[in-house]
Structure formats: C-alpha cells, structure tokens
Amino acid sequence: MSSINTHVGKMIRKYRKAANLTLQQLADAIHKSRATICKYENGDISMDIETLYEISQVLQVSVPQLTDIGRLQEEADHSSAYAARKSPFFQAKMLYFYFYDGRYNRMKDGVINIHEKEGNGSYRATLSICSVSGNGRSSESYYNGSVLYSDMLIRFSFVNQYNPLEEDLLYIFNPLEFRTHTDGLLCGISSADLMPCAFKCLVALEKQELNEELRKHLLFTKTELQRWKKLNMLLIDNYETGSRQV
C-alpha cells in the first residue's frame, strides 16, 4: 500500500464527508462503483490523474488540496527525523573524540558538548582537545561551532576560540547505526603551521582507553591510504609502518 495512495484517500474521504456525500453518491457522480471509491479512500488502489480531477470537481476542491504533497513530505521528513533521533548519536549531549596526530606522533583526545540553541531545533557545540607534549606537559584547545544532522553523517563546524583563522570540520559517518562508537574525519587548517590537515578519528559515546589498540585504529591502513591516494584527496602523515605509498 503506497503512502501517497493512503494520504490521497484520506483527503478524499475528508472532503467527501465535508460535502455530505455518501460513497455511492460520489461513485455515481464519476461513474465508478461504490467498491472502487472505497478502495480509493482506503489507499488500496491508485487512480489516474483524470479520475483524481473528476473527484476534485465533484468535491469542489482543487487537485493540490487532495494530494497535498507538501504536507505529505513534511510528515515524511518528520518521521525520518524521529527515526534518526532514536540513534544514540542523535540523542547524545556529550561525545568523546580521539585522533592520532602524525606531526607529533601522539594521540590526542577531546570532548564534544552539544546543546540546542534557544529550543528552535538548531544545535551548537563546543570542542576541547587535550594534548600532551614530549615533556609531559598538557594543554587544551577550545572550539565553538554548530552541528548539522543527516541520515548519512553528522557534521560539526568548529572555530578555534583563540584563533578564528583556524576552522575545522568534523564528519561522523553512519550515525544511524546502533553502536557506541564510529569513525569520523577531522579536516581544516592547522593554526600550528597554517597547513591543511586531515585526521582519521574515533567518536564515541563512552570514554575510551588510550592504548595501543586505539592508536592502531586511528592510523590509516594501507587500503585506506591507497584509496585516498587514488582519489588524490589527502596527504597523509599518520599511517601504518611500511604502508606509505608515495
């Protein structure tokens, strides 16, 4: 049963009753059987545009009033958005963020906080990244930004709080999958050397242990490196030993 047929059938029933017409009266007016009209209204069968026009003339409404495609699309979008919200990544107010910085040969981790902006359906986010230098001293970088949700990915757009020239994009892939972590890609211009950079990253609902297993996961594999090289999209510094293809 088509959702469009069901929607149009409901609209026909609505306007037929508003016009105080019975199923038989509408059927007689367009030279159809009562059973056929009943199937139209239940969405069991579709009708051609000529029949739809004839029904609209009898009910004294326009064809767009019967189809009301804009409203149907809004309902579909709302349904899709509701389904997406059931994924944990669409409900999360805090996400844990990890990547391996090949320039300094160390892992970095951060926290993303998400909040709705003034209850109007748009979302803001903050990102803090912690890094530990070779002498053991730690420092943090702070970013403010926005969030866009879709079925295929979630996109964060961040600007460095202390250096507005540094703007980074974080993409989270496959957010509809029900799991506690997923891969992402962080790309932008580094304020350290004003060079373009991109990092494979892990975004998780729960805090991860900074161990060798996580470090290996954050490195580009040989297969990934070959794919990126073939597409000529990235220059990669964080790669598995022996896998660099240049």
The Cα–Cα gap between 34 and 86 comes to 42
The Cα–Cα gap between 47 and 8 comes to 10
The Cα–Cα gap between 148 and 122 comes to 8
Residue 140: per-residue pLDDT:
78
Q: Of 161, 216, 156, 217, nearest to 188 (Cα)?
A: 156
Q: What are phi and psi of 79, to 5 degrees?
A: -65, -40
The Cα–Cα gap between 67 and 63 comes to 6
> pLDDT by residue (tens digit) across 112-149?
999 887 656 688 999 998 765 555 556 678 899 999 88
Q: What angle do CA 223, 225, 231 make, to 5 degrees?
A: 105
> pLDDT by residue (tens digit) across 19-31?
899 999 999 999 9
> pLDDT by residue (tens digit) across 35-80?
999 999 998 888 888 888 899 999 988 887 887 655 545 555 544 4
Among the residues of the chain, which ranges form H helices?
A: 3-18, 23-29, 34-42, 49-59, 63-67, 69-85, 88-91, 212-218, 222-231
DSSP letter (8 states) at residue 103: T
pTM of the model: 0.57
By three-state DSSP, how is residue 130 classified?
A: strand
- Strand partners for 130: 109, 140
